C-alpha cells in the first residue's frame, strides 16, 4: 500500500491566503519564499521582527506572518539596529532592494556592517529601480539601458556600478557576506543555504550577516521570465560573481 505525503507545501511563515503581487517572472516571490522556509526550519518566526524597505521589497510584510516595521527609504538597517539594540533576544532581518541598500541607504548599510550589528540583511539586486519604473540604480551595469540611461550606462555620466557583497565583506563587523542567484534550481538551493547560514550566524551572535540575491525584473527589463533569467546568467553573473565573500565560521 502506498501512502501519499505532501512534500511541497506553503511554509508556515507565509501568511495564510496571501498571494504574491509581484510581476510574472520576478524573483522576489522566490526570495520571499526562501526566507519563509528558513524561518520555519530554524523555528524563528515567532521571535522575528522584519524590516521592510521602500521599493518592491516593501510588500514583504503582506506575505510573511511575522511582526514587521516599514523603514523610510534607505534606513532599514538603522531601524534594524534600533530594534536589535532594544530587544537583543529578537531575530531581526531587513529585506531591501539594491537602490535602498546600496544607494540611498549606503551609509546606514556600511555602518551597520562596520559596527557588526547582530542582524541580517537580504538585498535583492536586479540592477534597476523596479517600483518607480526601471531607472538607473547603483548596480545598473555598464551599457545597460534604463529609463534614465537611455543610451546605456556610460562611465562619463554615471560612474561605475557597485559590487555590494565584496564591499560588505571588507567590513570588520561583517561575519558573513555572500552573493547568490535564483536563475536555476541548483542556484536557488545555494541561495537558501546562504540565507540559512546568515540567519544562523545571527542566532549565534557573531555579527552582521549579508546575502545579496541576483534577481530578475522582467517588466522593466522588458524580457520574458526565461530571457530575464538568461540575462542574470549571461550579463550579471560574470560581473556580480556568486560566491561566499566572507564567512568567519568557515575553516579557511
Partner 1 sequence: MTECLTKTSKKVLTKGNYAIANAAVLAGCECYFGYPITPQSEIGEFMSGKMQELKRAYVSAESELAAINMVLGACATGAKAMTSSSSCAVALMQEALSYAASDELPIVLVSVMRGGPGLGNIYPSQGDYNQATIGGGNGDYKMIVLAPATVQECVDLTYKAFYLAHKYKNPTVLLADGLLGQMMEPVEFKEYPYPEVDNSDWALTGAKNRPGRIIRSYAPSADNQCEFLNKLHAKYKLIEENETEWEEINTEDADIILVSFGSPARNAKSAMKECRKLGLKVGLLRPITLFPFPSKRIAELAEKTKKFISVEINMGQMIRDIKLAVNGKAQVELLNRPVGNPPSVEEIVEKIKKESGV
Binding status of residue 80 toward partner 1 by CB under 8 A: yes
Given 20, 23, 90, 203, the residue binding partner 1 (CB under 8 A): 90
CB of 120 to partner 1, least distance (A): 15
CB of 99 to partner 1, least distance (A): 16
Binding status of residue 67 toward partner 1 by CB under 8 A: yes
Task: Tell which residue, 218, 232, 134, has the closest CA to residue 179.
Answer: 232
Binding status of residue 78 toward partner 1 by CB under 8 A: yes
Binding status of residue 48 toward partner 1 by CB under 8 A: yes
CB of 245 to partner 1, least distance (A): 22
Task: Tell which residue, 210, 236, 211, has the closest CA to residue 223.
Answer: 236
C-alpha grid cell for residue 195?
540565507
Whose Cβ is closer to partner 1: residue 47's or residue 233's?
Answer: 47
Binding status of residue 40 toward partner 1 by CB under 8 A: no
CB of 123 to partner 1, least distance (A): 17
Measured distance CA(87)–CA(85) in Å, rounded: 6
Which of the ranges 2-10, 29-37, 63-71, 192-200 carries the binding residues for partner 1, by CB under 8 A?
Answer: 63-71
Which of the ranges 72-80, 177-185, 190-198, 201-209 carries the binding residues for partner 1, by CB under 8 A?
Answer: 72-80
DSSP code string of the chain: -PPP---S---TTBPTT----SPTT-THHHHHHHHHHHHHHHT-GGGEEEEE-SSGGGGHHHHBSSEEEEPPTT-HHHHHHHHHHH-TTSEEEEEEEHHIIIIITHHHHHHHHHHT-S-EEEEEE-SSBTTTTSB--TTPPTT--BTTBTT---HHHH-PPP-HHHHHHTSTTEEEEEEEE-SSHHHHHHHHHHHHHHHHHHHTT--EEEEEEE---HHHHT--HHHHHHHIIIIITTTS--EEEEETTS--
Binding status of residue 47 toward partner 1 by CB under 8 A: yes
Whose Cβ is closer to partner 1: residue 84's or residue 246's?
Answer: 84
Whose Cβ is closer to partner 1: residue 46's or residue 172's?
Answer: 46
CB of 54 to partner 1, least distance (A): 8
Binding status of residue 45 toward partner 1 by CB under 8 A: yes
Given 22, 32, 36, 61, the residue binding partner 1 (CB under 8 A): 61
Query: What is the bridge-based pairing of β-strands 67-70 and 48-52?
Result: parallel
Given 10, 41, 46, 154, the residue binding partner 1 (CB under 8 A): 46
Binding positions for partner 1, rule: CB under 8 A: 15, 45-49, 51-52, 58, 61, 64-72, 75, 78-87, 90-91, 107-108, 111, 115
Amino acid at each position: 500500500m502506498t501512502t501519499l505525503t505532501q512534500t511541497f507545501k506553503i511554509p508556515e511563515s507565509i501568511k495564510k491566503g496571501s498571494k504574491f503581487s509581484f510581476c510574472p517572472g520576478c524573483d522576489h516571490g522566490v526570495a520571499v519564499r526562501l526566507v519563509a522556509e528558513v524561518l520555519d526550519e530554524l523555528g524563528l518566526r515567532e521571535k522575528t521582527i522584519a524590516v521592510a524597505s521602500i521599493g518592491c521589497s516593501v510588500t514583504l510584510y503582506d506575505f510573511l506572518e511575522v511582526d514587521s516595521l516599514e523603514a523610510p527609504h534607505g534606513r532599514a538597517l538603522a531601524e534594524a539596529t534600533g530594534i536589535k539594540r532594544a530587544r537583543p533576544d529578537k531575530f531581526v532581518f531587513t529585506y531591501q532592494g539594491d537602490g535602498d541598500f546600496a544607494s540611498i541607504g549606503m551609509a546606514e548599510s556600511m555602518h551597520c556592517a562596520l559596527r557588526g550589528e547582530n542582524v541580517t540583511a537580504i538585498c535583492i539586486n536586479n540592477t534597476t529601480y523596479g517600483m518607480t519604473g526601471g531607472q538607473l540604480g547603483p548596480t545598473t551595469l555598464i551599457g545597460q539601458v534604463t529609463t534614465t540611461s537611455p543610451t546605456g550606462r556610460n562611465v562619463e555620466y554615471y560612474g561605475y556600478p557597485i559590487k555590494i557583497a565584496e564591499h560588505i565583506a571588507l567590513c570588520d563587523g561583517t561575519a558573513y557576506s555572500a552573493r547568490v542567484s535564483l536563475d536555476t534550481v541548483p542556484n536557488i538551493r545555494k541561495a537558501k543555504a546562504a540565507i540559512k547560514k546568515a540567519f544562523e550566524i545571527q542566532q549565534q551572535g557573531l555579527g552582521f550577516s549579508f546575502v545579496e540575491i541576483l534577481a530578475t525584473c522582467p517588466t522593466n527589463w522588458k524580457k520574458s521570465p526565461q530571457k530575464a533569467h538568461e540575462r542574470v546568467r549571461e550579463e550579471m553573473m560574470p560581473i556580480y560573481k556568486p560566491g561566499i565573500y566572507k564567512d568567519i565560521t568557515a575553516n579557511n
